[in-house]
Amino acid sequence: MSDIFYSLVERQPAGKDIVFLLDGSDGTRTGFPAVKDFVQRVVETLSVDDNKDRVSVVQYSKEPAAQFYLNTYTTKGDILDTVRGLRHKGGRPLNTGAALQYLRDNVFTASAGSRLQEGVPQVLVLISGGRSFDSVDAPASALKELGVLTFAIGTRSADSKELQKISHDPSYALTVSEFTDLPNVQQQLQSSRRFGKKIHLMSSCLFSPAGKDIVFLLDGSDGTRTGFPAVKDFVQRVVETLSVDDNKDRVSVVQYSKEPAAQFYLNTYTTKGDILDTVRGLRHKGGRPLNTGAALQYLRDNVFTASAGSRLQEGVPQVLVLISGGRSFDSVDAPASALKELGVLTFAIGTRSADSKELELQKISYDPSSALSVSDFTDLPVPRNSSPL
């Protein structure tokens, strides 16, 4: 399973490591002040002084050049002063592929201040004004494999397909008319849902308060009766790592077979102890057939809502963990797409009976790499606090 799952659901230092990769080639000279302004606006929202968030800026054209690394500055003021003073690099051609590889080898590393091994989310924001002269395919894939969430923002002069390749998911690419439109992006990210998944996820990564809303969707159909204790144990292990008592994290559990049933909502319990007690006491639902599509739609309409305790509108990351033991009797396509459009990060874990051939788990997951297959529920991964799986 993707390292991002553990970055989101395990105990970790609140915050993120954000790297800005800025196009400094000849064609971006006039728009560079607006690029710097955008970076400053984002940095202003971060928690740098208490070491929750770390920032790095790399500028590139023919070759990349680190302006500063993730561990160079420990105060927001120093970062802002340096960004204001950045000089446009200049040069050509634009080698985005080489720049991405440079980040992989020299910036997203422990020696440069990356906390990847501690489970801290790694975020890359690329701002580009043109098409790359070299290939971006292999370096972009390398960053995805590392677990970096890459968002690519480009002007109309950039190659939209290339931006989609670079982004962690094609929908995380964003196009603006020109760099002078960048100052408006943050406001759009924070206040608008009409742009769909790419906007909400970017907003969650860059501007959200510490914490997350996690919903567990558990297969309670007849075929999972013997494995259900292992499922409950997995949920308990994850909950143990969360920060519930200070309202950073919220948890909901829904069990389903033919129909879904909420065991509790995101705003039902405010203490970790109450959640753990309830999970331990869960009884297997039973029933058939397994209607995963209906369950996903139920979550969309009844659980990821403000009335049920979801903080989606506040920019808090929304995480869904599906644990399934079989193939769905109904279609999952439309409900899964609806959750993606809402901005929910869905991770699907299934046994070998859960339709790996038809790629149902991959369809449900927000990204195909976020699906995991295990032999049976006793093999569910054990969350580890200090490192990703």
Tally the domains of the chain. Answer: 2
- Considering the domain architecture, whether residues 199 and 222 belong to the same structural domain is answered as no
Contact 252, 216 (CB under 8 A): yes
Residue that terminates a domain, selected from 178, 207, 236: 207
- Of 189, 207, 225, the one marking the end of a domain is 207
Question: Is 190 in the same domain as 319?
Answer: no
Q: Does a structural domain hold residue 384? A: no
Amino acid making up residue 349: I
Task: List all residues 6 or more positions away from 128 whose beta carbon is below 8 Å from its beta carbon.
Answer: 23, 94, 96, 152, 153, 154, 155, 158, 163
What is the β-pairing status of strands 64-68 and 54-60? antiparallel
Same domain, 130 and 24: yes
β-partners of residue 254 are 217, 262
113 plus 225 within the same structural domain: no
- 389 in a structural domain: no
Q: Do 160 and 34 fall within a single domain?
A: yes
Tell me the pLDDT of the chain (389 aa) as tens digits: 444 444 444 434 457 899 999 999 999 999 999 999 999 988 988 888 888 889 999 999 999 999 999 999 999 999 999 999 999 999 999 999 999 999 999 999 999 999 887 767 888 999 998 999 999 999 998 888 887 888 888 888 888 889 888 987 776 788 887 877 776 665 544 433 333 444 444 445 544 445 789 999 999 999 889 889 999 999 998 888 888 888 888 999 999 999 999 999 999 999 999 999 999 999 999 998 999 999 999 999 999 999 999 988 776 788 899 999 888 999 999 999 888 878 788 888 888 665 554 488 888 887 676 777 777 777 776 554 432 22
What ranges in the chain are assigned the alpha helix state H?
Answer: 3-9, 32-44, 76-84, 96-106, 137-146, 160-166, 185-191, 197-207, 228-240, 272-280, 292-302, 333-342, 360-364
Q: Report d(CA 346, CA 54) in Å as an integer.
A: 26
CATH code: domain of residue 347: 3.40.50.410
Question: Among 183, 207, 231, where does a domain finish?
Answer: 207
Whether residues 233 and 202 share a domain: the answer is no
Domain around 56: 3-207
Q: Is residue 386 part of a domain?
A: no
Is residue 26 one of the residues assigned to a domain?
yes
Question: What pLDDT score was predicted for residue 191?
Answer: 39
Are 181 and 280 in the same domain?
no
